[in-house]
A = this chain, B = another copy of it.
Amino acid sequence: MPRPRFAKLEPDKQAGILSVAASEFAENGFEGASYNRIIEQAGLSKGAMYYYFDDKTDLYVTVLKDAIDRMMAATLEGIEDAGGYWAQFEHMFKQSVAFTLEHPEFGALVRGLLDAPARLRAAGGPIEKLYASYRQQTVELIQAGQAQGEVRTDLPLELIVGVMFGMGEAVDRWWIENLETIGDDTDRWARELIGLFRRVAEPRGDES
């Protein structure tokens, strides 16, 4: 998190720095982004930047937390209208996809987080906490499903979460790469894709 001084900076300048950083990180991911370039484009000197942020990671985490918050808010918007676990699941999926298309930069930022090499996400890595907190949302979603009897409980939680998380990445990627295939039929395809999650996660009565 930025040093407290950053909050004292004029809001315009704060926003300017974060916006430059967001586009650099969105385009190049964490490692690919050049901190020097961000500093330059923000019109700051090195000393100034390191005066407000501890390091590159600090700035990245700041930018990403904001992106994740916005995406989460969009994902949950109108969730109360969906009845039943899987309907809510589908609603969230559609909302998040719509959000990504409306705000490509935020979408790219979040995708970049998932795309980061394991070494960065792993315990001890720079973005460990950020990644873990994002993943935690999936854990809670699965647990909610289990509580409602809609998600199987015969497998280790970590396994289901890992698989569902991986499927989520794959499905998101497919969606944004196949907009022509999908066309106007977003409802049909959303149901189709959610169907994949249901196949994996729903209890079927044949579990050991």
Q: Which residues of A does B touch, CB under 8 Å? A: 28-29, 31-32, 111, 115-119, 155-156, 158-159, 162-163, 165-167, 169-171, 173-174, 177-178, 181, 188, 192-193, 196, 199-200, 204, 208
Contacts and interface: CB of A to CB of B under 8 A. Distances in A.
Nearest to A162: B170
A181 B156 contact: yes
A180 to B, nearest CB: 11
Given A29-B117, A117-B115, A117-B116, A174 B162 contact: yes
Contacts of A181: 156
B159 A174 contact: yes
* Copies of this chain present: 2
**Which secondary structure characterizes the binding site on chain A?**
helix
10 contacts: A29-B118, A31-B31, A111-B118, A158-B174, A159-B193, A162-B171, A163-B196, A167-B200, A192-B208, A199-B200
A135 to B, nearest CB: 12
Contact of A167 (B32, B163, B204): B163
A163 B178 CA distance: 14
A119 B174 contact: no
A158 B178 contact: yes
Contacts of A119: 28-29, 32
Contacts of A155: 192
Q: Which 7 A-B pairs have the closest CB atoms?
A: A166-B170, A166-B166, A162-B170, A199-B199, A163-B170, A159-B174, A115-B118
Given A28-B119, A199-B199, A199-B200, A173 B178 contact: no
A167 B168 CA distance: 10
A33 to B, nearest CB: 10
Contacts of A171: 159, 162-163
